[in-house]
Amino acid sequence: CRVIVLRPLDADAVRSILRRGVEHLRQQAPDFGLDDETLDFLAHSADGDARYALNALESLAEADRGRVWRLPQAQAQLMRRAARYDRDGDAHYDLISALHKCVRDSDADAAIYWLARMLEAGEEPLYILRRMIRMASEDIGLADPRALSLAIDAHRMYEILGSPEGEQAMFETAIYLALAPKSNAVYMAEKAARRLAHESQDAEVPMHLRNAPTKLMKELGHGKGYRYAHDDADAVVAQAHFPDGLTADRLYRPAPRGFEKTLQERLDWLARKRRERLGKEEET
């Protein structure tokens, strides 16, 4: 594993990158350009981040590719774009809320529209990707386990490629999340498990589930009576797994959608096998 430390570029390096960016844009729009004062302003205001500088350059090109930008006009244009989108303001939270709700409601077209709105407004892509990871776990969960992996892969792809290439994976992920079967069963199970754990913090671990690394602990009964699941033909045992005296309702209740339908079948099978094991024990 190699650790690569990224350090801020100096203004001259950013200026050189901006010049190459201008030359690239001129291949499509020969009249586009920046005067030296504007070039210096973008290079210094980027604080060593070439992506920031290139995003600002792209913003000017999108506004008008048929002019040579001078500093007062460039500053006014960049300020107008920033004013439309305040990352700490209502627009920031309203747009991410719209994206999240469209994913939850399985509307892929609307999801990528709101995603595009955020990116066009200048939102930090990694923030959106972190939120999409949350969407995958909260609103899809085990109904489609691939959703979480895809969201994490998209985050990693953006870290490797940056903008604009890395943003394509964001649209791919948003579409996948929107079209995936939905379930909040894991989210609800987490809340139920935390609530039960909070209410029973002093409940002791049953003796048969305790660790017994030493002879003394074994003599004290730690681990005594534990049934090793792999000794059973189906790897299923009927033994208590909650603290003594604690009655717990079902914490995880799969939704009847996607892969969770299969998980419900597995839970039903396990419950049936455990009843069979208990019945045999009562007979003996």
Tokens of 36: 């030296």
Yes or no: say if 59 and 74 are a contact pair by the CB < 8 Å rule: no
Amino acid identity at 132:
M
Whole-angstrom distance, CA of residue 182 vs CA of residue 258: 8
pLDDT classification of 79: cutoffs 50, 70, 90: confident
User: Which range in 74-83, 145-154, 197-206 is most confidently predicted, on average pLDDT?
Assistant: 145-154
- What is the average pLDDT across 14-27? 93
Cα torsion angle, 141, 143, 144, 145, sign: positive
Predicted local confidence at residue 49, as pLDDT: 83
Predicted local confidence at residue 247, as pLDDT: 79
Predicted local confidence at residue 85, as pLDDT: 55
Amino acid identity at 127:
Y
Place of tokens 């350090």: 7
- What is the average pLDDT across 108-120? 93
What residues does 34 pair with on adjacent strands? 69
What is the overall mean pLDDT for the chain? 89
pLDDT classification of 5: cutoffs 50, 70, 90: low
Q: Which of 59, 75, 76 is nearest to 18 (CA)?
A: 59
Predicted local confidence at residue 176, as pLDDT: 98
Q: Which of 75, 83, 73, 66 is nearest to 30 (CA)?
A: 66
In this structure, are strands 33-34 and 68-69 parallel, antiparallel, or unpaired?
parallel
Task: Assess whether pLDDT exceeds 60 at residue 234.
Answer: yes
- What is the average pLDDT across 147-162? 93
pLDDT classification of 84: cutoffs 50, 70, 90: low
Yes or no: say if 114 and 92 are a contact pair by the CB < 8 Å rule: no
Yes or no: say if 236 and 277 are a contact pair by the CB < 8 Å rule: yes
Amino acid identity at 198:
H
86-112: per-residue pLDDT in tens?
A: 555 567 788 999 999 999 999 999 999
pLDDT classification of 15: cutoffs 50, 70, 90: very high
SS3 label, residue 68: strand
Task: Assess whether pLDDT exceeds 80 at residue 33.
Answer: yes
Task: Assess whether pLDDT exceeds 80 at residue 280.
Answer: no
Predicted local confidence at residue 21, as pLDDT: 94
- What is the average pLDDT across 105-134? 92
Instruction: Give phi and psi for 67, each to the nearest 5.
Output: -145, 165
Yes or no: say if 221 and 211 are a contact pair by the CB < 8 Å rule: no
Predicted local confidence at residue 108, as pLDDT: 97
Q: Cα(first)–Cα(last) distance of the chain, in Å?
A: 57
Place of tokens 């774009």: 81
pTM: 0.69
SS3 label, residue 33: strand
64-76: per-residue pLDDT in tens?
A: 888 999 999 998 8
Task: Assess whether pLDDT exceeds 60 at residue 268.
Answer: yes
Predicted local confidence at residue 130, as pLDDT: 94
Rg (CA), the chain: 28
- What is the average pLDDT across 75-82? 74
Yes or no: say if 150 and 169 are a contact pair by the CB < 8 Å rule: no
Cα torsion angle, 167, 168, 169, 174, sign: positive
- The residues, ordered by sequence, that sit 6+ positions from 37 with a Cβ below 8 Å of its Cβ are 70, 71
Yes or no: say if 56 and 17 are a contact pair by the CB < 8 Å rule: no
281 compared with 229, residue with greater pLDDT: 229
| Domains of the chain, each with CATH number or no CATH | 11-83 (1.10.8), 90-179 (1.20.272.10), 205-283 (no CATH)
